[in-house]
Amino acid sequence: NAGVTQTPKFRVLKTGQSMTLLCAQDMNHEYMYWYRQDPGMGLRLIHYSVGEGTTAKGEVPDGYNVSRLKKQNFLLGLESAAPSQTSVYFCASRRTGAPETQYFGPGTRLLVL
């Protein structure tokens, strides 16, 4: 049982390039989340999904798109990367109902030059 995994672990992009971050979970969780973590700030929610085929915006969605084509996978896309998107990205998942504990992946460190 791997829990939540993220691919890649680290990536360097040039401004304007695109990429997709992959999150996978093997816990059969309905809900999945993408957060970003920046120095001096708490984790901030980018987008989330309450089930296969559904997505919703979080606190900081601009510049990102997401897709949940399969229950176990949640993809985060950057269409045209900007230096302001340099951050560490965390994926999390949880089951429906209480407790609402979210389980996090190991993170993807992204540097946009």
Partner 1 sequence: EDQVTQSPEALRLQEGESSSLNCSYTVSGLRGLFWYRQDPGKGPEFLFTLYSAGEEKEKERLKATLTKKESFLHITAPKPEDSATYLCASASGGGADGLTFGKGTHLIIQP
Q: Which residues bind partner 1 (CB under 8 A)?
A: 4, 31, 33, 35, 40-45, 48, 50, 56, 58-59, 90, 92, 98-107
CB of 47 to partner 1, least distance (A): 9
Residue number with CB closer to partner 1 (14 or 97):
97
CB of 99 to partner 1, least distance (A): 5
* Rounded distance between C-alpha atoms, residue 110 and residue 3, angstroms: 22
CB of 4 to partner 1, least distance (A): 8
Residue number with CB closer to partner 1 (22 or 45):
45
45-83 exposure pattern, b = at least 16 Cβ within 10 A, e = fewer: bbbbbeeeeebeebebbeebebebeebebbbbebeebee
Residue number with CB closer to partner 1 (14 or 41):
41
CB of 104 to partner 1, least distance (A): 4
Give the Å distances, CA to CA, from 33 to 23, 94, 108, 113.
9, 9, 14, 26
Residue number with CB closer to partner 1 (13 or 46):
46
Name which of 41, 53, 54, 52 is nearest 90 in CA terms: 41
